[in-house]
């Protein structure tokens, strides 16, 4: 290491913490939380790459990629990627691709965990406690509701960043030295692909409402499709979109296309 | 209290509710908080709390997990609660009003997320080409707060013009359009999921994508279960003893 080692300070980490709070506010159908994730990482990127526009450009694009994570724990991911960016800024041999790979693979599993904790368990508990007071007309209801969600929410956001950055700095420097980072990227991609496959089955939903009428006995077509394979139509949609993306069709075009096709199909009651 | 002042206060409450996602996803956009605030600004706090508790249970299933976007609770809670407080009707009326209003405003919100916010994202892409992080800051802030101002304005307008107008608008939207929005919301996650898959895909690893899909489709394993299983598989791969051949990069496909 030479004398002008670039180092992220507590100041940048504090800014990352504050900016991570906006994660869900720019949500869009194209790449979900990506503009706010980039916004979260900008203090770190400015500290590391202010003298290198080429690296800055690649880093900005890297963090404008698709992002989907639970806002309350996203700082863990931000801490890890900040540590990797720091390693990248100081080590000319660092494989930049591995930052995207690790980020993409971790966000799915983290979201699976975080969503079930925050939008699942904690929200249910908070609603249970909150409504029992609020239905009596007591302000204690909303207050307890707020605390049940936000005390754990802000604690995990704060410590997630610390843990992510601190473990990341030692971890990735060692990884890079021992040549293990490719292996790590690949292991993370296995995990990521498993989760994405599962997301394709659980989050895409298409059902055909037609009904076949044979001598007064009606059977929905959807049942026949489910016999062939459950989630057959979501699988088709996924493969079709995956293929179109490979043809360099822009996501905006895809959005518009889906919209128009759905309006037409809905008008003729096909979907 | 004049209608203008009430409308301003309603705008403030709605804006506050929507801003939850800008200040840490605090979930104060939920009816239990929003209805209480509406009750407070319209002068009947206890009723606000009670309506909030009732709407909260009605909207319990409405959570923004993954790419599914729930009905717009803020508008539903504001309009429903305001009606009950000002007309002194049964609190059950709030649910009957809140659900269609929430569905209507969700259409507008979906429009923002499908067409307006992606435009902001494309501006960011172009600024990234110029390595201009400061301008990206500005665009992200403007887009993230701007959509909340737009939504709060819609709620305030709805309150100002009153319930009959809202009902008329609801009735004038053809059934197939509302249905189409539901269908679109079901299909659009395919885009996000496919982008994610593309970023990690290689021929060698493609079977894992299939396994994840099939396990959820046939065995109905929830995504979190798949993630735990995946950690095991990833560890198996990572700790597998292997002769590392120098200079061979097998990560490219």
Residues A171 and A231 in one domain: no
pLDDT value at position A5? 84
Nearest to B50 among A54, A134, A254 (CB): A134
Q: Is the pLDDT of residue A1 over 60?
A: no
**Which of these three, A181, A200, A219, is where a domain ends?**
A200
The predicted complex's ipTM stands at: 0.82
Residues B144 and B224 in one domain: no
pLDDT, tens digit, for every residue of B187-197?
A: 887 887 888 78
pLDDT value at position B67? 47
Residues B170 and B106 in one domain: yes
Q: Is the pLDDT of residue A113 over 50?
A: yes
Residue among A116, A23, A252, A65 nearest B197 (CA): A65
pLDDT value at position A184? 79
Distance from C-alpha of B143 to C-alpha of B168, rounded to nearest angstrom = 31
Q: Is the pLDDT of residue B248 over 70?
A: no
Closest chain B residue to the Cα of A31, Cα to Cα: B192
CA A4 to chain B, closest CA, distance in angstroms equals 22
Q: Is the pLDDT of residue B130 over 90?
A: yes
Interface test with B, best of A25, A46, A103, A184 (most B CBs within 10 A): A25
Is residue B193 one of the residues assigned to a domain? no
More confident residue, A37 or A216: A37
Residues A193 and A212 in one domain: no
More confident residue, A3 or A21: A21
Total count of domains within chain A: 2
Q: What are phi and psi of B102, to 5 degrees?
A: -60, -35
pLDDT value at position B243? 54
Residues A239 and A213 in one domain: yes
Residues B168 and B209 in one domain: no
Q: Is the pLDDT of residue A98 over 90?
A: no
Total count of domains within chain B: 2
Residues A141 and A237 in one domain: no
Residues B153 and B233 in one domain: no
Q: Is the pLDDT of residue A4 over 80?
A: no
Nearest to B188 among A68, A246, A258 (CB): A258
Name beta bridge partners: A217.
A214
Q: Which residues of A touch B148 (CB under 8 A)?
A: 25
CA A3 to chain B, closest CA, distance in angstroms equals 26
User: What share of chain B in percent tops pLDDT 70?
Assistant: 92
Burial grade of B248 (CB within 10 A; 0-12, 13-18, 19 or more): exposed
Is residue A46 one of the residues assigned to a domain? yes
Distance from C-alpha of B63 to C-alpha of A60, rounded to nearest angstrom = 30
pLDDT, tens digit, for every residue of B75-100?
A: 999 999 999 999 888 888 888 888 88
Q: What band does A102 get if pLDDT is binned at 50, 70 and 90?
A: confident
Q: State the residue range of the domain holding A31.
A: 10-200
More confident residue, A178 or A48: A48
Which residues in chain B (105-134) have CB-CB distances under 8 A to chain A? 113-115, 117-118, 120-122, 124-125, 127-131, 133
More confident residue, A270 or A143: A143
Contact A42, A19 (CB under 8 A): yes
Q: What band does B252 get if pLDDT is binned at 50, 70 and 90?
A: very low
Residues A48 and A150 in one domain: yes
Name beta bridge partners: A219.
A212
Q: Is the pLDDT of residue B172 over 60?
A: yes
Residues B110 and B207 in one domain: no
Q: State the residue range of the domain holding B53.
A: 3-175
pLDDT value at position B244? 53
**Which of these three, B175, B190, B209, is where a domain ends?**
B175
CB pairs under 8 A between A and B: 396
Q: What value does the mean pLDDT take over residues B95-120?
A: 88
Nearest to B121 among A30, A116, A241 (CB): A30
Average pLDDT, chain B: 87
More confident residue, A168 or B185: A168
Q: What value does the mean pLDDT take over residues A149-177?
A: 89
Is residue A5 one of the residues assigned to a domain? no
Burial grade of B57 (CB within 10 A; 0-12, 13-18, 19 or more): middle
Q: What value does the mean pLDDT take over residues A228-234?
A: 91
Which residues in chain B (177-196) have CB-CB distances under 8 A to chain A? 177, 179-180, 183-184, 186-196
Contact A28, B111 (CB under 8 A): no
């Amino acid at each position: 290491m030479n004398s002008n080692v670039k180092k992220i300070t507590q100041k940048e980490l504090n800014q990352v913490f504050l900016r991570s709070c906006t994660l869900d506010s720019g949500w869009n159908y194209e790449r979900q939380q990506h503009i706010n994730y980039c916004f979260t990482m900008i203090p770190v990127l400015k500290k590391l790459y202010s003298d290198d526009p080429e690296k800055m450009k690649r880093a900005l694009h890297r963090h404008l990629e698709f992002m989907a994570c639970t806002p309350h724990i996203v700082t863990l991911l931000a801490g890890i990627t900040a540590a990797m960016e720091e390693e990248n800024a100081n080590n000319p041999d660092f494989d930049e691709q591995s930052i995207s790979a690790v980020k993409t693979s971790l966000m799915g599993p983290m979201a699976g965990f975080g969503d079930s904790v925050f939008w699942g368990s904690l929200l249910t508990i908070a609603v249970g406690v909150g409504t029992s007071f609020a239905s009596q007309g007591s302000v204690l209801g909303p207050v307890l509701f707020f605390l049940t969600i936000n005390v754990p929410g802000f604690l995990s956001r704060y410590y997630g960043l610390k843990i992510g950055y601190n473990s990341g700095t030692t971890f990735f420097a060692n990884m890079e030295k021992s040549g293990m980072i490719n292996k790590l990227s690949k292991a993370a991609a296995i995990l990521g692909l498993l989760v994405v496959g599962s997301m394709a089955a659980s989050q895409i939903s298409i059902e055909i409402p037609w009904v076949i009428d044979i001598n007064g006995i009606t059977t929905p077509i959807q049942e026949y499709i489910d016999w062939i394979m459950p989630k057959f139509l979501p699988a088709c949609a996924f493969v079709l979109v995956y293929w179109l993306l490979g043809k360099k069709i822009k996501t905006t075009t895809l959005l518009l296309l889906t919209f128009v096709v759905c309006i037409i199909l809905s008008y003729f009651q096909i979907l | 209290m004049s209608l203008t002042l009430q409308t301003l206060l309603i705008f403030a409450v709605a804006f506050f509710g929507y801003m939850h996602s800008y200040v840490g996803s605090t979930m104060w956009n939920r009816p239990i908080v929003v209805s209480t605030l509406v009750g407070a600004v319209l002068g009947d706090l206890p009723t606000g709390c009670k309506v909030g508790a009732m709407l909260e249970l009605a909207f319990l299933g409405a959570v923004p997990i993954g790419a599914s976007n729930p009905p717009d609770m803020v508008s539903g809670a504001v309009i429903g609660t305001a009606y009950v407080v000002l007309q002194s009707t049964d609190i059950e009326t709030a649910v009957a009003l809140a659900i269609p209003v929430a569905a209507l405003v969700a259409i507008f919100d979906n429009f923002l997320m499908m067409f307006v916010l992606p435009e902001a994202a494309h501006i960011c892409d172009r600024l990234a080409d110029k390595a201009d992080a400061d301008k990206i800051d500005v665009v992200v802030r403007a887009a993230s707060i701007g959509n909340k101002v737009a939504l709060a304005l819609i709620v305030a307008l709805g309150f100002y013009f009153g319930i009959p107008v809202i009902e008329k608008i609801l009735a004038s939207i053809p059934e197939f359009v509302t249905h189409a929005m539901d269908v679109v919301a079901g299909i659009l996650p395919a885009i996000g999921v496919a982008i994610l898959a593309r970023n990690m895909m290689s021929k060698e690893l493609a079977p894992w994508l299939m396994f994840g899909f099939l396990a959820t489709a046939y065995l109905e394993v929830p995504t979190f279960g798949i993630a735990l299983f995946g950690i095991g598989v990833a560890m198996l791969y990572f700790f597998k003893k292997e002769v590392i051949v120098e200079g061979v990069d097998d990560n490219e496909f």
